[in-house]
Structure 1
């Protein structure tokens, strides 16, 4: 896929323009977006992402179009996992609803910048060192195991990183609007708003470490990696308010992501064997029996995993809600009889 510097410049400029527009039109004035506003903009960005993928397929090649869609689906699923952690952080810091848009916007921009840096590094590594696929594959298999065991692991607002930040920065107990710092008694203090943004920036760094190897397992084209990430992050702010209540019902999201990451990890290892140049593996020769998983299968597998995890989560939470309602409606005598039996 031949992408000229001009196309790169235009793509990055348009991406920046979207985020600048978002800030001045939606985020600059603090407010809690309505469901209607969130739904319209979420649909717009998802539609734009799908249209872009069709454009790649029609104007370049459908192989690249398939790689883009597989990458976009994977990054969108990982971004929803991002939202879950953002929700935990903002709950932990008790961020007022009307200021959450600003925190999300800054967090998403930080995520895009960090991912851009990792994309550049990843492209350089893949270009010069084919053995990096072994490392990416092993890393994703480890991450898949961690996801399957429970995903998020506590409130990041109370983690070691934030405890370290609190030790070196003077922090106020209360919010001062959406200000990041405030002067009290002649001294500059940091507000919880800035702490929240620092926490989310640190989380973005951690998530970039798994999202970039994951998408490089589906395509080696840096342009597709960047655009899939950019479109996955666009509209994420609106999606947060649209599915905020649904996030807590996606109880099998971590397991679904674990399956996706494990699948891509295996795919990367197989690809590494196929292009092997390490002298201590098969004498430095390519391993011919290692199959290359086609992109149509990757796209189907990822899409099906997301659907199964979502449907299973909703069935589970609905069943739990029915059981809870049934328990509440029973008399103490019925509950005591059930326990004794």
Structure 2
């Protein structure tokens, strides 16, 4: 497949068109996407990305097709990891859920722009100095080790993302209001023009996007050196990320081993980069400046290993004791919240079914081992707060009509407030 100026123009036009469609038809009117809406559009964007790869096969360009799919899967996995940080930032700024779509789409747009610049810069550096792959490989190995160390020690590198240097600088330039004014970026208070938290959260996400590009671009250049493949795989991995956020919102916390999987992928690509650098070696202090006869990792094998690692990561996360504990807590929270927001005019049968689901999952949360209950509730106080509020509401309702306390409420009271 010939990649010329026309190919670039058409591709960029398609991507800009997809972004414009999102801005004008999805986020212009603030709303919370339903699961059905998020699932349909996630499937559409993933479908577009997969079909795009088939174009290379149609032109008989199998090598670029495999490189594209390997890059797309890797970047998609890294993008899902980015969603964790976006979630932390938006929670820190208490972004109303109906406005989160707009924040996410801005983050995707900014990520696309910043990563495009890094892609072009990477292409220039690689063409000028091929041994840069040594640095790329070492950087990815160090990053994989750092992520693994953070997971083992339990340190949280993202806890201060909502108060980074860019946010502090923005606050110095313009005063910021404490309250949101719809989805506006600026508002007027006491005759003074001020930033809203909406602008600050976008600044925080934009600054974080730049940091993400440092591991994203070297990783994909380890799978292909064709800038067009790097750009398209990165762009299509970002498209649909907004819908994916709402689709797997509850699933994100359950992927407890995702960091291990991403560390393995980054480590694999780091090794692949160093082997490639050795094979194309020009450094005089390594083998006298001659190529080192090492076996490189084929891109097809890289793609297979990446898919296998991600599959193992997801399955292990969902079936692990910690993953099951999170499922119990999240469902207890979800059905407790649904019970509290039931309209007073709701039919008795509907209220009874809602209460049964709340009791069943609260019981499952109560049955968690002390280890997981202490660890998860210590980091997720929202679970205990939402669940307790729902059961207090139900207890008050039961006492007002002379009924016994629900079973789950008696369990909560018996051994102290565990959830």
Q: TM-score, normalised by structure 2?
A: 0.76
Unaligned runs of at least 5 residues, structure 1: 336-341
The SS at the match of 1:218 is: coil
| Equivalence for 2:306 | 302
Which segments of 5 or more consecutive residues in structure 2 lack a partner in the other structure?
A: 329-363, 370-407
Distance (whole Å) between structure 2 residues aligned to residue 266 and residue 34 of structure 1: 42
Aligned residues: 334
Cα deviation code 1:56-81 (max 9, x no counterpart): 12314111111111000000000001
Task: Give the aligned partner of residue 95 of structure 1.
Answer: 95
RMSD of the alignment, in Å? Answer: 2.1
CA displacement 1:113-137 (0-9 Å, x = unmatched): 0011011011111112111101111
- More deviation in 319-328 or 83-92? 319-328
Counterpart for residue 83 of structure 1: 83
Partner of 1:249, secondary structure, is coil
- Which secondary structure state, in structure 1, belongs to the residue aligned with residue 187 of structure 2? strand
CA distance in 1, matches of 2:62, 2:316: 32
Q: How does 1:189-200 map to 2 (within 5 A)?
A: 189-200=194-205
C-alpha separation in 2, matches of 1:242 and 1:273: 43
Asked if the contact 1:31–1:99 (Cα under 8 Å) also holds between the matched residues in 2, the reply is: yes
In structure 2, the residue matched to 1:19 is 19
> Which structure 2 residues correspond to residues 1-341 of structure 1 after superposition, within 5 A?
2-148=2-148, 149-150=150-151, 152-288=157-293, 290-316=294-320, 317-320=322-325, 324-327=365-368
Find the counterpart in structure 2 of residue 338 from structure 1.
none
- SS of 1:189 mapped into structure 2: strand
Tell me the secondary structure at the aligned position of residue 39 of structure 1: helix
- Is the contact made by 2:166 and 2:203 (CA closer than 8 Å) also made in structure 1? no
Asked whether the 8 Å contact 2:184–2:198 carries over to 1, the reply is yes
**SS of structure 1 residue aligned to 2:367:** helix
CA contact (8 A) 2:167 2:204 kept: yes
Cα separation, partners in 2 of 1:120 and 1:157, compared to 1, 3 Å: same
Contact 1:175–1:193 (CA under 8 A) maintained in structure 2: yes
2:256 and 2:323 in contact (8 A); partners too? no
Compute the displacement of 1:162 (Å).
3.1
Q: Secondary structure at the match of 2:31?
A: coil
Question: What does residue 339 of structure 1 align with?
Answer: none
CA shift in 2, pair 1:99/1:72, >3 Å: same
List per-residue Cα deviations over 1:264-304 (Å, max 9, x = no partner): 0011011000000111111110001x211111110011001
Task: Report if the CA contact (8 A) 1:88-1:155 is conserved.
Answer: no
Contact 2:164 2:204 in 1 (8 A): no
Distance in 2 (CA, whole Å) between partners of 1:227 and 1:62 is 16
Q: Is 1:85–1:152's contact at 8 Å kept on the other side of the alignment?
A: no
2:94 match: secondary structure: coil
